[in-house]
Amino acid sequence: MNAITDPHLAPRWATSALLTIDVQRDFLSEAPYGVAGTTEVLPTLAGLAAAFRAAGRPIVHIVRLYQPDGRDADLVRRTLLAGGADIVTPDSPGSAIASELLPPGAPPLKPDLLLSGEPQPLAEREIALFKPRWGAFYRTRLDELLRGWDVDTLVVAGCNFPNCPRATLVEASERDYRLVLAGDATSRLHEVGRTEMTGIGVTLLPAQAIIAALRTL
């Protein structure tokens, strides 16, 4: 039995939400510290976000914000940041979510609000939320917010699979969410990663299959 037919794993689109992970200007492919492949998946990811909006389903844009001195960043980032690297610094242009993903009229990010742990509304049922480490559930209100929307199925996409999407999917699995990874809307996804994710019950689908499912709601 595969994840699509397994009654414990099959996505429930009517109670789904989209998580976009770290799709910020400083992480786009062409940025000085960008991640290869992220700009390339942006059109597909934008289409996926538009489909969730059209279906009236929630969207959470997970973001990173690094203080210039590197405090409270992942240990592997602290030396780089303390040495002067300017990466998703609060209020910097590079910290902004890629405009292609945003709803019309979305306000700029409010770093003080986000760093306090509070969600920032961007549109109806669409928010930004700061995470201080790889996984989107660690030291955040994500689980509380999703449960408040009665969400039990998460579609994950963004930047970049080996780090934050992978960690987020593992954390979500530990919280018994039904999980979908939009493989063609996630940068640096590799075959070993695909095998690892299916091994913990994640359904791998192309964005067009997810969009088609949302259109049935």
The 10s digit of each residue's pLDDT in 109-119 is: 999 999 999 99
Sign of torsion over alpha carbons 52, 64, 189, 15: negative
In the chain the beta strands, taken as DSSP E runs, fall at 16-21, 59-63, 120-123, 126-130, 153-158, 178-186, 203-205
> Which residue's entry shows tokens 């210039």?
68
Which ranges of the chain have pLDDT less than 50?
none
pTM more than 0.95: yes
Beta-carbon contacts of residue 162 (< 8 Å; ≥ 6 apart): 188, 190, 193
CA-CA distance, 41 to 131, in Å (whole number)?
Answer: 22
- pLDDT, residue 1, reads 57
Q: Does domain 13-214 have CATH number 3.40.50.850?
A: yes
Model pLDDT for residues 107-156, shown as the tens digit of each residue: 999 999 999 999 999 999 999 999 999 999 999 999 999 999 999 999 99
- pLDDT, residue 5, reads 84
Extract the tokens encoding 106: 């979305």
